[in-house]
Structure 1
C-alpha cells in the first residue's frame, strides 16, 4: 500500500507541476535557488591569484590558462553538491611526481583558498586539504571520482602546480537524486508585502533539498587524511534526508524534527520519501530489547561508538508522529506500531516516582548542562507521549491500541503537572534546566512553550516575553551553549511564539536571525547555516566539539529551517494537526496578502487570503482554501469579527468541517 500511494502521489504532482510551470510562471519562482539542470556551470570566475589568462568567444565559454603557483576560483552562485568535471589540456610531458593541479571546495567566500572546507573536525583544521589531479598529456576530460563526492560547496578553487588550461567546468548535481525537475516544488509560499519572508521560506526549502542524498555518499570512517572519501552507506534506503549538505551527511533524529516538516511542505513526494527512508533507518537500528532509538545514523562516529541520547530518542517519536500525519497512511502506522510502542515504553520506563524522566544519556544538539529532570527532555517526552497517544486514539478502531493511548495520555498529563511543580521558576517566569540549577535554557523553555507545557494563557504569555531576554541584534544567544546563536533552537522558538499567540514576536525573531543567515557575506546566500557565534562568526561550537574550526561549520543545515514551517502553518494558517485533521488559523500580523500550499498523499492543501481596511479601524478578511476529501478540520480566526461566512453560510464556532475543494471564507468588520 505504501508503494502505491508513493508512486501515484509522485505522478500526480510532478507531471502536474511541470505542466503548470510551463503554462505560467509564478511570482515566487524567482526565489527558488534550485538549478534548472543537473549539469550546471559556474556563474563566474570569482577571483584569481598569480598568472591566469582568460580567452574565449563569449561569456560562459571561456578558457583559462593557469601558470604554476596560480589559483582560479569559480563561483556557482548558490550552494551546490555532487561531482565536478572539466576539460583540460597540458603542453608539457606529465611530471608524475607533481600533480598538475588540485581542487579545493568551500561554502563560504571567507574561506576561499588553497584548501577545502574541513568535514572532519581536527586540531589541524585542514583535514580535507585539496584533491590532487594529475592529467595526461594533451587534451582530456577530468571527472571527479564517484567516491570523492562533495556534498556542499559554492566555490571551487583550482590550484595550479604546472601549466594547465581548463574549460567547460561543470558540476553534476548529486542531491535529491530522484527529483526530475529540481525547481518544480509542489509546495509554495508567497506574500508580496515582505520579500524577506519569501526568501526565508525558499532558502529553507533549498537547504533541505541539498540535504537529500544518494545512498552511498556518507562520510567514510575512519576518515582519509589528507583528502576525503564519501562512499559509506547512509541508511537502509535512499534518497535519504541528512542533517547537512557538507557534513555530517548523516541521519540525526533531532534534525528530522524540523527538517522533515520542511521537506514535506516544500518538496512533496520527494521530500516525504527521503524523510521516510531516514525514519526507516531509525526503526531498523532501534534497540530491540530497550526500545531506544539510535542517537544518529550509521555513517557517524557517534553511531559507531554507541553514543546514546534521551532527547534524540524523543525527537525520533515526534518525527514519526509528524510523518504519520503528513501521509495519513493507516497501513504505514500499523506496520510500525510495535516499534512505536517500544519507543514509548522506553520513555515510560525512564519516568520515576516524581512523574518526570531523569536524563541519563545527555548527548544532545551540543548544549551544555543537562542531567536530572532536564526541562528540554521532559518537554520532548511530554509531546511524544501526548501526540503518539492522540495518534493511537484516531488512526485505528483497535481497542487494544486505544487502551495503550489512554495510558500514555495519562502519563503525559502527570508529567505536565510535575514539570510545572518542579521546574517552573515564578521569579524568572521561565523553566529551569533541571531541579538543581539556576540555568534557564532557551531550548527547554522554547520547547515547553511550543508543546503546551504551560498551564494557562497568562503563563504562556509571560514565558514568551521572558525568552526575549536572550535576544541580541543578531538573534538569541542561548545560555546552555555560551557564545552561540542556534538556528535550530531559534526555529523552535519561532514556532513557540506563534503557539503563544505572539505572531509579531515570532516574525521579529525570523527577520532578525534569518536575515543575517541569508545576507551576511559569510554565508552562501541560498542556504541556512548550522549555527553562528554571538558576534556572527562561523566559529560555531568553537570550544564545544568543533576545535575552533570555522570551516567545519555547515552552511546548509536542515535543522535551521523552522521558519519555512512557521510561515506555511502559522502565517498562511493551514496546518495538519491530527490524523486526517487540519485547522485553518491564520496569523497574519501585518501581512495583507498571503498564498501557500503543499501536497500530501491525502491531497492538496492550499490557501490564499487577503485583508483590507474597513471603517472605524476594522478590516475585512477574505480566504479561499482547499483541503482534501476524507479529512476534516476547524476554523479559528484570531480576531473578533462582526460576521463570518463559510461558502455563504454563517460559520458557527465548534463546527466540524469536512474537507472539500475551494471553500470560501468571508469575515467582515474584524478587530
Structure 2
C-alpha cells in the first residue's frame, strides 16, 4: 500500500498548505516516488509499544519520548530507509553511568518491529550476534549518533528499549544510500498510466528499491561477523557509489542481480544510477581472473568471494550486465578499454562449449541464485551463454571495422547458432512444451524456461507461444513456485518471466503475473510497502529459502532487493514500448494490454528518450493510436506497431519505412487498427 503518512512536498506546496489552496502536481507520477526529500528523515509515527511510554507527537510524528525501565517503543519511518540514527537523550536520573541506558534495534518488516533485537544480517544467524546496539551516555542531556561502522543499510522500524528512565527526542535517520545523488527524488526516468495504479506503484517501488541498493563504498559487511553486533565499514568494490544486491544485506556486488537491477537503475535513476552500475562492473573487471577470464561469483564483501566460490551462470550474467550498460551509454572509449576483458570472458564460455558433439556448456560450477539441481548441459546456463554470445557478436559487428573484432563476431555468432540448435534437440520436451533442466533429469525449471523464452532460444513463434503458456503451470494465487527451489517464489526469476512473456508477444500474461506477485510484494502486511523483497515462501511468508542457506530465519530475508524490479523494466521497455536495443539503436513497440494511455521516459548519455501514447476507441474493437516519441539525436531505430492498421502516419506523412532516424519528438498516428 502506498504510504501517505510520510510524504514530502516541494517548497511551493509547503507555503500553500496554510492557505488550504490545492495545487495539482505538474507530473502525476511524482506522488508515487518514495524517496525522501531530505537526507535527514524523522519517524512518521509510532508503530507499537510495550510498558508505559509517554509520547508527544506533531501530526502523528513522535517528537518527544519518555521511557521508563523496561519500556519499549517502535518507531515507523513509513518507508524503507537506511543510514545512521542520531537522537537527543536525557538521562539525568541515571543510576549507573557506566551501564547502557537504552538500546537501538532495527527491522524491515512489521513482523519483527516488536522485538528488542535487530534483523539478522550475519552469515550465521543461529549464532544470534546481530541483536541490538546498547547505548551508554553521560548523565544529562546528550546528542548521540550511532558509530560510523554501525551503519544499517535497510530498515523501516527503529525499536528503542529502555534499561532505565530516559527521555529521547529528535530521532533522525541520516540517509546513507545513493551517496552522490543530491536530490533523491529527482529521477532520470518515469512511468505513468491513469488506468492501473498498481502498475505505477510497482514501477516506483522497483526504482526506490534499486536506489536504496546504491551503497557508499565503505559500507560493506565484515565476515566473519563481529561479536557481538555488526560492522558495516568493509570496502564493497571500486568507486564511491556501487550498486549492490540488497539494502540490508548482503550489500555486495552480485552479477545475477545486476542483470535486472542494472537496467532498472539506468531506466529510473539517470546518471547517478548509471554511475553505480559502472562501479559495480568495474569491480567485476578488477577481480576477473586474468588467466581463465572467469568473472567472480560475487564481490569482495561476501563469504562466497572469500571462499573462492565460482559460478558458471553468474559469469554469463556478468557479460550480460556489461552489454546492457554498454549499449545504454554507447561509450566506445569505455568499451574498447575493456574489450580485452570482455573477450577473455567470452573465450571462457566458448572454451567450455562441448566441441565433440553438442556445442553446449557442461556446467561444472552450479553456484547460482540459490536454485537446486543444475549441472550437465544446464538450460539456464546455456540460455545465458547464448545471449552473451549473440549480444556481443552483434555489437562487435555493428561497432568495428577492425578485422580481429569482426572475426570474433563471426566466431561467437557461429558458436551461438550451434548452441541454439543443440539446445532444442537435447532439452526441449514437445510433450510438456518446456525445456528440461539438463539432459539427465525430468525437472523443468522456471529459470531455464523463462530465460530461453526471453533470449529467443525457441525456433518459432508457435513454440514461443506454447512455452509461454506452459510457464503458467508453475503459477499459484501468489506467484510462480519454482520447481528448482521447492516452496519458493523468486521475484528474480519471476522478473525474468515477466520480461519473457513480453518477448513472446503475450503482454496480458505478463501483466497478470505482475499484478499477482507484485501486488503481494507491495501490499502484504509483512512488507515495507515501498521496496521489493528478495523472495518469499510458497505461502507468502518471509521464510525464503528456508533450510536452503537461511536456516529458517525469516528476519534474514532482504526486503529491499533490486533483482525483484523486473516490472520496472517491462513497463518502460514493453508497455510504454521504448527500448535501447543495440549500439545507438532503439525500438518503439508498445504493448497496451488493455491500458488506454501511458507516459514514460528516461535519460541517457545519448539524450532524452520519452513516449506518450493513447489508444482511442478500443471499446469498439477497432481503435486509433497516437504517440509522441522522443529519441536522441545521433541514434536510429524502428517503429513497430503490433497491429494491422488501415493507415500509419509519421509527422503528417504516410509511414513508408519503419526505420527512422532519431532526434527530437515525432508524432505517430495509426487509424483503424485491429
> CA deviation digits over 1:221-255, x for unaligned, max 9?
22112210000000021200000000000000000
Aligned partners of 1:125 and 1:549 also within 8 Å: no
Matches within 5 A, 1:457-606: 457-606=461-610
1:656 and 2:646 aligned: no
From 309, 312, 317, the equivalent of 1:310 is 312
From 163, 171, 174, the equivalent of 1:172 is 174
CA distance in 2 between partners of 1:363 and 1:57 (Å): 51
Matches within 5 A, 1:130-169: 130-169=132-171
User: What's the counterpart of residue 396 of structure 2?
Assistant: 392
> CA deviation digits over 1:471-496, x for unaligned, max 9?
00000000000000000000000000
User: What's the counterpart of residue 207 of structure 1?
Assistant: 209
CA distance in 2 between partners of 1:604 and 1:215 (Å): 29
Q: Bigger shift: 206-215 or 55-64? A: 55-64
Deviation at 1:220, TM superposition (A): 1.1
Deviation at 1:153, TM superposition (A): 0.1
Deviation at 1:320, TM superposition (A): 0.2
User: What's the counterpart of residue 73 of structure 1?
Assistant: 74
1:668 and 2:652 aligned: no
Equivalent pairs, count: 653
Q: Structure 1's 58 and 663: CA in aligned 2 closer, same or farther, altered over 3 A?
A: closer
Matches within 5 A, 1:334-373: 334-352=336-354, 353=356, 354-373=358-377
Matched residue SS, 1:387: helix
Deviation at 1:591, TM superposition (A): 0.3
> CA deviation digits over 1:267-304, x for unaligned, max 9?
01000000000000000000000000000000000000
CA distance in 1 between partners of 2:126 and 2:319 (Å): 38
User: What's the counterpart of residue 118 of structure 2?
Assistant: 116
> CA deviation digits over 1:555-613, x for unaligned, max 9?
00000000000000000000001110000000111000000000000000000000111
Q: Bigger shift: 177-186 or 606-615? A: 606-615
User: What's the counterpart of residue 639 of structure 1?
Assistant: 643
TM-score (norm 2): 0.95
User: What's the counterpart of residue 275 of structure 1?
Assistant: 277
CA distance in 1 between partners of 2:244 and 2:402 (Å): 35
From 290, 293, 316, the equivalent of 1:291 is 293
Aligned partners of 1:36 and 1:181 also within 8 Å: yes
Aligned partners of 1:119 and 1:127 also within 8 Å: no
1:428 and 2:432 aligned: yes
Matched residue SS, 1:36: coil
CA distance in 2 between partners of 1:560 and 1:615 (Å): 34
Q: Structure 1's 512 and 58: CA in aligned 2 closer, same or farther, altered over 3 A?
A: closer
From 184, 188, 195, the equivalent of 2:197 is 195
CA distance in 1 between partners of 2:333 and 2:129 (Å): 46
Deviation at 1:48, TM superposition (A): 1.0
1:326 and 2:328 aligned: yes
Q: Bigger shift: 615-624 or 483-492? A: 615-624
Deviation at 1:56, TM superposition (A): 6.3
User: What's the counterpart of residue 45 of structure 1?
Assistant: 46
CA distance in 1 between partners of 2:125 and 2:133 (Å): 20
User: What's the counterpart of residue 19 of structure 2?
Assistant: none
Aligned partners of 1:375 and 1:444 also within 8 Å: yes
User: What's the counterpart of residue 222 of structure 2?
Assistant: 220
Q: Structure 1's 61 and 367: CA in aligned 2 closer, same or farther, altered over 3 A?
A: closer
Aligned partners of 1:121 and 1:552 also within 8 Å: no
User: What's the counterpart of residue 251 of structure 1?
Assistant: 253
Structure 1 unmatched ranges of 5 or more: 1-16
> CA deviation digits over 1:166-193, x for unaligned, max 9?
0010000000001111011110000000
CA distance in 2 between partners of 1:54 and 1:288 (Å): 60
User: What's the counterpart of residue 447 of structure 1?
Assistant: 451
User: What's the counterpart of residue 3 of structure 1?
Assistant: none
Q: Structure 1's 313 and 56: CA in aligned 2 closer, same or farther, altered over 3 A?
A: closer
Matched residue SS, 1:98: coil
User: What's the counterpart of residue 5 of structure 1?
Assistant: none
Q: Structure 1's 614 and 485: CA in aligned 2 closer, same or farther, altered over 3 A?
A: closer
Aligned partners of 1:94 and 1:137 also within 8 Å: no
Give the superposed CA RMSD: 1.7
Deviation at 1:397, TM superposition (A): 2.4
CA distance in 2 between partners of 1:529 and 1:81 (Å): 15
1:262 and 2:264 aligned: yes
> CA deviation digits over 1:119-178, x for unaligned, max 9?
024352633100100011000000011111000000000010011100010000000001
Q: Structure 1's 611 and 453: CA in aligned 2 closer, same or farther, altered over 3 A?
A: same
Structure 2 unmatched ranges of 5 or more: 1-9, 15-22
User: What's the counterpart of residue 82 of structure 1?
Assistant: 83
Deviation at 1:379, TM superposition (A): 0.1
Deviation at 1:393, TM superposition (A): 1.0
Q: Structure 1's 665 and 373: CA in aligned 2 closer, same or farther, altered over 3 A?
A: same
CA distance in 2 between partners of 1:329 and 1:645 (Å): 34
User: What's the counterpart of residue 5 of structure 2?
Assistant: none
> CA deviation digits over 1:341-368, x for unaligned, max 9?
0000000010012210000000000000
Matched residue SS, 2:233: strand
Aligned partners of 1:530 and 1:557 also within 8 Å: yes
Q: Structure 1's 615 and 520: CA in aligned 2 closer, same or farther, altered over 3 A?
A: closer
User: What's the counterpart of residue 628 of structure 2?
Assistant: 624
CA distance in 2 between partners of 1:163 and 1:93 (Å): 7
Deviation at 1:51, TM superposition (A): 1.9
Matched residue SS, 2:669: strand
Aligned partners of 1:82 and 1:151 also within 8 Å: yes
Q: Structure 1's 454 and 58: CA in aligned 2 closer, same or farther, altered over 3 A?
A: closer
CA distance in 1 between partners of 2:26 and 2:616 (Å): 26
User: What's the counterpart of residue 9 of structure 1?
Assistant: none
Matched residue SS, 2:374: coil
Deviation at 1:97, TM superposition (A): 5.0
Aligned partners of 2:97 and 2:137 also within 8 Å: no
Aligned partners of 2:296 and 2:305 also within 8 Å: yes
CA distance in 2 between partners of 1:26 and 1:326 (Å): 25
CA distance in 2 between partners of 1:147 and 1:625 (Å): 47
